[in-house]
Amino acid sequence: MDTPQKSITQIETPISKSRFEDSPVFNYINSLSPIRPVKSIPNPHQFSTLNFTSPPSVFTSPHLTSSHKESRFFKTHHPSSDPTIPVQESQDNSASNVEAVAEADATTEFNTDASTEMEQPQIVKETNLDDPLAVSPCGSRETTDLSLVPYASPPREENNGEDAAGMEMQKMMNDNVQGKNETPDWDRLIADSSEFLIFSSPNDSEAFRCLMMQRASPSLAPSVMPTMQPGSINEPESSNASPYGAVSVLHRGIRRRCLDFEMPGNKQTSSENNTVACGSSSRCVVPSIGLHLNALLMSTKDCKINTTTHDYSCTEKYQVGLQGSSSTLQEPFDQTETATRDLEVVPDEPTLEELHLSSPKKKRVKMEAGEGESSCKRCNCKKSKCLKLYCECFAAGVYCIEPCSCIDCFNKPIHEDTVLATRKQIESRNPLAFAPKVIKSSDLVLETGDDASKTPASARHKRGCNCKKSNCLKKYCECFQGGVGCSINCRCEGCKNAFGRKDGSSIVDMEAEQEEENETSKKTKRTKNQENTEVYLMRKEESSALPATPMSIYRQQLVQLKNMMPPPQSVLGGGSSSSGMFNSQYTRKSETKSLETVTEDGAEEMPEILSHTSIDNTKAVSPNGKRVSPPHLDSSSSGRRSGGRKLILQSIPTFPSLTPQH
């Protein structure tokens, strides 16, 4: 039985309004007031494209406006007993907020907070905004918002929500521009915000930062994916299309969603996190922002979400500041892609840059034309429907996106159920299927007790490779691809892995590095034996695409830090759960842990990177100027020269300073 109340209110509003407007009193007032009543124009389009110029496409779709209310924000349960009112409210707010973020991106963290807060009270609790104002129970939102956000949308009538939002947006934009004079120190803002602005997910923060960056460098503003309207796709789940649509639009524009496969029963949470986009998103949508591309990687493979606890471990600083510095070694290509883009952004890596830019390598062309274009990891699946581990996206825990060339792809938000089911199935078969393939050596040592720790990479492939012909010298080899040495877990034949052979000899690396070092100083070419040379060349080729990009630099820094840190604690994230990809990396456990995990991958690449990049550069390109100062390795590391050319990871003793104890 329908409660007449609702319908009555719906009907009554317009009626009463019209009556009111027709009334002489109204006319009188109207005549007196210079303010003319403006009737809302129910034109969703007006709100979007026409009104705003910034990064339009992503957020301008009518679909978006129509589905705002169903965006992921509203997936969260409203604590209030009567969802209708809050929803209505949040509808406007969300619209304005989303738009604010999207269009104006003048939105500050406060606004973001506000939106988050408004839409996700629970998350707010979770995220614990330090700002007392921010934490307001559902009751007093508006006040809070207003107090918090200079341009936050004030409470307004439920009608013409979109227009209102749009107008509000413009107002906000204006206010922001005028009031702040548009001199945002984004780095500072982000840095500052990182302390109290805790995003509901790492991806959120990523997206946030992305937007910030975007604003910071409008010239780089993406062309923006024009027509990716998932909603336009005739999906069976049309009922759900909206939410997805909204989310997708938003995320497509901003971020690539990560799959949080876990929480089978907890769909809500799952969706919440699912929506969480990986940093990838940023790269996808904001191609110009090379730095963010890495974030994708981070989110996808490196910064794993500990779905078990729903913690995210890359500390916000890392997440935001480093922008996916941890981009996985498992995806050298991505790195390279990113690198290529980063070159434009980061001018201070002359040698490598030049090297990279000047070399019209096929690889690079390939990357630019293909993966690099979107700067997203792209799969090319044809038969697996992207629902098998064959699919890199799926394996990485991210949804496929536009740039993917996959056919019959089911790895999309609209098929979330399928994806989750498949994921579960695969995990049931192999609980570690989605676990990071490359894990820290320390962890490994705990597990296998092998000599992994002896190798420079300081990480090992979990299962080991099974190479027969590639000698573990090509990316066919997962160990090599991951930038780690082979271990006793490997069943490879003729292993010549540059990062460390199965037999435990990591000497190759040492020799190569030292050799290169000497060569560098002497400016002569190497005189190493053929094997090492071969290895070296291969690695160089690999890493040539990984010049001194910020990412690589971050990684480098991280690696350095890592090396200075004491041996990692027991595996937390690693074993945390089978949800794998996202497991450890985002666990908020401790910064140390985060760093470690982040570094984990970074270390994989180190040998090569280190041999080519200088610490000075590292310093120079520090993301937001925050931290990761390459510690005083020199004194402690025997492998490093005054020139700062090289770091020999192996030789760097653990350094206690960064961890509380030890």
Q: Can you give the binding site for DNA, defined by CB under 7 A?
A: 332-333, 362, 369, 378-386, 388-392, 395, 406, 426, 429-430, 433, 437, 463, 465-471, 474-478, 481
- Three-point CA angle 438, 442, 444, nearest 5°: 55
The secondary element (H helix, E strand) that includes residue 277 is strand 277-278
Between 146 and 389, CB nearer to DNA:
389
Place of tokens 């780690």: 484
Q: What are phi and psi of 245, to 5 degrees?
A: -55, -50
Report residue 311 as tokens: 């913690």
Q: What are phi and psi of 460, to 5 degrees?
A: -145, 155
Smallest distance from the beta carbon of 495 to DNA, in angstroms? 10
CB-based contacts of 58, cutoff 8 Å, min separation 6: 102, 224, 225, 249, 250, 252, 253, 254, 285
Between 388 and 619, CB nearer to DNA:
388
Please give the Cα distance from 257 to 259 (Å, whole number). Answer: 6
Closest residue by Cα to residue 332 from 580, 512, 544: 544
Smallest distance from the beta carbon of 575 to DNA, in angstroms? 18
Please give the Cα distance from 68 to 162 (Å, whole number). Answer: 10
Angle at which helix 4-22 crosses helix 24-32, to 10 degrees, equals: 60
Smallest distance from the beta carbon of 35 to DNA, in angstroms? 59
Report residue 595 as tokens: 């760093």
Between 144 and 481, CB nearer to DNA:
481
Q: By the 8 A CB rule, do 574 and 446 touch?
A: no
Between 103 and 392, CB nearer to DNA:
392
Closest residue by Cα to residue 285 from 105, 527, 534: 105
Q: List residues bridging with 295 in a β-sheet.
A: none
Smallest distance from the beta carbon of 38 to DNA, in angstroms? 52
Smallest distance from the beta carbon of 486 to DNA, in angstroms? 10
Between 36 and 362, CB nearer to DNA:
362
Please give the Cα distance from 461 to 49 (Å, whole number). Answer: 48
Between 78 and 385, CB nearer to DNA:
385
Between 74 and 333, CB nearer to DNA:
333
C-alpha distances out from residue 605 to 135, 330, 550, 577, 618, Å: 42, 9, 14, 26, 15
Q: By the 8 A CB rule, do 622 and 345 touch?
A: no
CB-based contacts of 635, cutoff 8 Å, min separation 6: none
Smallest distance from the beta carbon of 341 to DNA, in angstroms? 17
Place of tokens 């002497």: 522
Between 84 and 430, CB nearer to DNA:
430
Smallest distance from the beta carbon of 449 to DNA, in angstroms? 19
Smallest distance from the beta carbon of 332 to DNA, in angstroms? 7
Between 17 and 475, CB nearer to DNA:
475
Smallest distance from the beta carbon of 402 to DNA, in angstroms? 15
